[in-house]
Structure 1
Amino acid sequence: MKKIKTDICVIGGGSGGLSVASGAVQMGAKVVLIEAGEMGGDCLNYGCVPSKALLSAAKQAHLMRKGGAGVAGVTPQVDYAATMEHVQAAIGTIAPHDSQERFEELGCTVIRAFAKFTSPTTVQAGDTEITARRFVVSTGSRAFIPPIDGLDAVPYLTNESLWAQRQAPKHLLVLGGGPIGMEMAQAHRRLGCEVTVIDAMEALGRDDPEAANVVKAALRGEGVTILENAPAVLVSGTAGDITVQLKDSTEVKGTDLLVAVGRIANTDNLDLEKGEVDRTRAGVKVDASLRSSNKRVYAIGDAAGGMQFTHVAGYHAGVLIRSMLFGLPAKAATHHIPRATYTDPELGQVGLTEAEAREIHGDALTVSRAEISGNDRAITTGRAGGGGFIKVMIVKNRPVGVTIAGPDAGELISFWALAVSAKLKIGQIAGMVAPYPTLMELNKRAAGAYFTPKLFDNPRVKTVVKLVQRFLP
């Protein structure tokens, strides 16, 4: 048995673990990085990167069909296999940045094996025992497979196995109407597949209902069937002929099945109990500083049982760098973390939704909004339809939450993530000058709308203006 002593042992080579490892080793710490699967983790290999590459290809097909002002639409010739090769090319372009070779060049000791705790201070990976001053569990998550009768006997896809497909599904059944399910539903519909989404509750149920309805209407308009409040109770069939029976006895038939009902943290095979690390069903149990019940062990990203986003794992890595390397107090927060769903139109959210803000702040809440239909850039580019909007939840002159449904919402929401994080006043945002014409003007207009009734519908303001006009030389 080989034995290594190190300052920091990172378990999991996904986005969060790689950020901790690269930051720590470049600032002088000894680092061991353990990864049994693909370097880069779920985001690079099975999640964000491949899904956005597929969505991009699907959008090209959609734009060809749609055409434009004075430009006739045409029927695109879709090569599904070539599209999936485009996905792999995108992964391959990014992969060197996350590779074992790069991290070894940085100075990390990289071990490609499964890790298990053997004591509160040691981990075993393959034939190596690692003793570390600090451990970071960053093992990510995997697709949750619901306990539906018959599902284990039927061939199904997850976000991991989907990318190996080279033949387009004739009729794709998507079990789950969350962001992953809805993104893949729209992508496959645009690539020429029939698609049915089945959700036990409301599709996009975590999002603001008004915003979610904008997206659902768009997908239905493109031909995606969305069945809501329709729990699946039985799955049967064989490859190419799959039937999902719903609670009301309705049967939905398709050729392929994608399971996208949620994710579960990869913490169950680490022998955490031997490391004296407590965990819940959601993941490792951590405090605000991301430290577990064992003061030597931290958890970040999906493994920490909170918000499951790549950028959260990166944010967590920064929190740990401050605390582990410099001994500075650092705690993770969630109020300023944005999220986006990359359907077309997109959804963006940071902070509280309107319903959450009303429940917490009551009458102190003001909701200010602007419609996509009134934005000149959206009009000139043919993207002003569909009922998109931005609404800002404001308390004591500061935004506490923002919802965007419309084109490039995932980009626009970043501005508001900064505003919420920096505790900017709404007047500062309204005073911003945005280039014309841009979608960014929506942010300014939504902020400015907060002052509209205070200025234009206020008798006192009108009285003051009249007096000034009378006496001003």
Structure 2
Amino acid sequence: MTGGHDLVVIGGGAAGLGAARAAAGAGARVLLVTDGPPGGDCTFTGCVPSKTLIEAAGRGLPFDDAVRRMRSVIAQIAATEDAAALRAESIEVRRGRARFVAPGRIDVDGTVLAARRYVVATGAAPAVPSVPGLADVPYLTTETVFDLAAAPGSLIVLGGGPVGCELAQTYARFGTRVTVVEAADRLLPGHEPAVSAVIADVFAREGITLRLGAQAIEAGTTGGVTLRLADGSQVHGDRLLVATGRRPTTGGLDLPAAGIAADDRGHVVTDAHLATTAPGGYAAGDVTGRMPFTHAAFAMGRIAAGNALSRRRQRYDPAATPWVVFTDPEVARVGLTEAQSVGRGGRVAYLPMTEMDRAVTADATDGFVTLVAGPRRLLGNLGGGRILGATVVAGRAGEMIHEPALAVATGMFAGRLAQATHAYPTWSYGIQLAAAQFVTAIGGRRARPARAVR
């Protein structure tokens, strides 16, 4: 049995890297165990390749050029987090598959490690629905779609969530005929209905066929790929991309041997400090079933490592963590939605992109800004009230959301956002215009009470 490490991190994705780097930065002796190259899904099959293709498609690059650029970018970013780079940060890396054999004991390909403190950060993998015949179809997932050497003539995207929408629009812009099949009655069902309406309208204008409220009941390979839907109709395409969510990667870990509990979906159970049910054990990232984002995973990893190594423990609070969908326009949100704020006395400021000069100059007026504010204890709505959340649909929503995220994190008065001078004409100027509605009329608009249904 080997040991001598202050912290063992299992998994080399965003959460694992966050944990390992935080621990090493605190002077701890860290071992990172990973069964693949450090960087994980985000670098090789997630954020990096998808956003590179999205950018390339938006610029009108041919698919061959886009793929070459994607592979170059992956290599460039991977080099900043490979084993050599991590060793330079005093992080020991061991390639292999980890398996618990007892509490505080981890077998890595035949070598048993003593791990008094550890972080499980093994991430998640694509979830594939149990559609009859699907197993016999050469479908794509986010783990294989970036291996395509040529853009297919036609593509069925099963799933209209963030990943499905991003890749549907990307391939449509490369010239692929795309059909999105979504079981819910709207795209992006995890977001507000107004968001779904904007993206559906944009997709329709770009020639993307939408089959909403459509349940796939059978898959086949007649003349490419065929999906039979519950209403009796069929959808045909050259290729099929399954984008129906993710499942935690815990197979082979033998969590019960360590005393680590998992929920009914297989996610590692953690408390507010990211501690598992096993002494000295913590978990971070997608394997916990909390916020499924790279930036959230990295933050969780840092907190989990800090809590494992210190008696002063920090809570993980996702309230001010932003969400971004990289469609065009982008979709971003943070904190409470309008519907969620109704019971908290929420008020909502709304600004359509048609009234935002930067959007008009860019000829990109699809979307809106909504800010949600609520009363402070004792002070009520003085100063516009406290910022509780925001939803932005705009060409640069992913950048615009960070000012509201800071406001949510600090409990900022809406009036302070309105008072801060914003450069004109910028996308973020829309945040100021929306915030001002909590204290005065702007373009005839004032903040209104939140409503449960929009």
Same fold, TM-score > 0.5, yes or no: yes
1:42 aligns with 2:41: yes
Instruction: Give 2:235's aligned residue.
Output: 252
Q: Do the aligned residues in 1 keep the contact of 2:22 with 2:306 (CA within 8 Å)?
A: no
1:162 aligns with 2:164: no
Give the secondary-structure state (helix, strand or coil) at the position aligned to 1:196.
strand
Instruction: Give 2:381's aligned residue.
Output: none
Query: Aligned pair in 2 of structure 1 residues 456, 438: CA closer, same or farther (>3 Å)?
Result: closer
- Percentage identity across aligned positions? 34
Q: Distance in 2 between matches of 1:371 and 1:33?
A: 47
Match of 2:405 among 412, 417, 430: 417
Instruction: Give 1:328's aligned residue.
Output: 312
What number of residue pairs does the alignment pair up?
435
Instruction: Give 2:423's aligned residue.
Output: 435
Give the secondary-structure state (helix, strand or coil) at the position aligned to 1:5.
coil
Q: Distance in 2 between matches of 1:456 and 1:60?
A: 37
1:299 aligns with 2:283: yes
TM-score using structure 2 length: 0.93
Residues 222-241 of structure 1: CA deviation (Å, up to 9, x unaligned): 00011110000000016x61
Deviation at 1:105, TM superposition (A): 2.4
Deviation at 1:261, TM superposition (A): 0.5
Task: Report the structure, 1 or 2, having the larger helix content.
Answer: 1
Match of 1:205 among 169, 189, 194: 189
1:368 aligns with 2:325: no
Alignment of 1:260-271 (within 5 A): 260-271=243-254
Match of 1:449 among 437, 448, 454: 437
Q: Root-mean-square deviation (CA), in Å?
A: 1.8
Q: Do the aligned residues in 2 keep the contact of 1:170 with 1:193 (CA within 8 Å)?
A: yes
Deviation at 1:326, TM superposition (A): 3.5
Deviation at 1:129, TM superposition (A): 1.3
Deviation at 1:453, TM superposition (A): 5.1
Instruction: Give 1:10's aligned residue.
Output: 9
Q: Distance in 1 between matches of 2:101 and 2:4?
A: 14
Deviation at 1:60, TM superposition (A): 0.9
Amino acid at match of 2:399: E
Q: Which moved more, 1:127-136 or 1:300-309?
A: 127-136
Residues 73-119 of structure 1: CA deviation (Å, up to 9, x unaligned): xxxxx642332121111111101111011112222221111100011
Residues 268-300 of structure 1: CA deviation (Å, up to 9, x unaligned): 321000000000115100000000100211110
Deviation at 1:324, TM superposition (A): 2.8
Q: Distance in 1 between matches of 2:5 and 2:431?
A: 48
Instruction: Give 1:401's aligned residue.
Output: 389
Q: Distance in 1 between matches of 2:187 and 2:196?
A: 8
Query: Aligned pair in 2 of structure 1 residues 391, 300: CA closer, same or farther (>3 Å)?
Result: same
Q: Do the aligned residues in 1 keep the contact of 2:433 with 2:442 (CA within 8 Å)?
A: no
Deviation at 1:456, TM superposition (A): 9.0
Residues 291-327 of structure 1: CA deviation (Å, up to 9, x unaligned): 0100211110101111100011111123224323332
Instruction: Give 2:450's aligned residue.
Output: none
Instruction: Give 1:193's aligned residue.
Output: 176
1:379 aligns with 2:360: yes
Residues 3-55 of structure 1: CA deviation (Å, up to 9, x unaligned): 23321000000011112112212322111110001320101110011000000
Query: Aligned pair in 2 of structure 1 residues 90, 454: CA closer, same or farther (>3 Å)?
Result: closer
Q: Distance in 2 between matches of 1:264 and 1:442?
A: 37
Q: Distance in 2 between matches of 1:150 and 1:38?
A: 33
Instruction: Give 1:285's aligned residue.
Output: 269
TM-score using structure 1 length: 0.89
Q: Distance in 1 between matches of 2:266 and 2:98?
A: 20
Instruction: Give 1:73's aligned residue.
Output: none
Residues 343-365 of structure 1: CA deviation (Å, up to 9, x unaligned): 0011011011112222x32xx22
1:121 aligns with 2:104: yes
Show structure 1 runs of 5+ residues with no match: 62-77, 459-473
Amino acid at match of 1:411: E
Give the secondary-structure state (helix, strand or coil) at the position aligned to 1:109.
strand
Q: Do the aligned residues in 2 keep the contact of 1:215 with 1:346 (CA within 8 Å)?
A: no
Q: Which moved more, 1:205-214 or 1:327-336?
A: 327-336
Match of 1:344 among 301, 311, 328: 328
Instruction: Give 2:128's aligned residue.
Output: 145
Instruction: Give 2:295's aligned residue.
Output: 311
Query: Aligned pair in 2 of structure 1 residues 8, 435: CA closer, same or farther (>3 Å)?
Result: same
Instruction: Give 1:461's aligned residue.
Output: none
Query: Aligned pair in 2 of structure 1 residues 327, 194: CA closer, same or farther (>3 Å)?
Result: same
Q: Distance in 1 between matches of 2:3 and 2:441?
A: 67
Q: Distance in 2 between matches of 1:349 and 1:26?
A: 31
Q: Distance in 2 between matches of 1:353 and 1:26?
A: 36
Give the secondary-structure state (helix, strand or coil) at the position aligned to 2:339.
helix
Q: Distance in 2 between matches of 1:435 and 1:83?
A: 33
Show structure 2 runs of 5+ residues with no match: 376-384, 447-454
Amino acid at match of 1:220: A
Instruction: Give 2:116's aligned residue.
Output: 133
Amino acid at match of 1:284: V
Instruction: Give 1:112's aligned residue.
Output: 95
Q: Distance in 1 between matches of 2:282 and 2:267?
A: 12
1:241 aligns with 2:224: yes
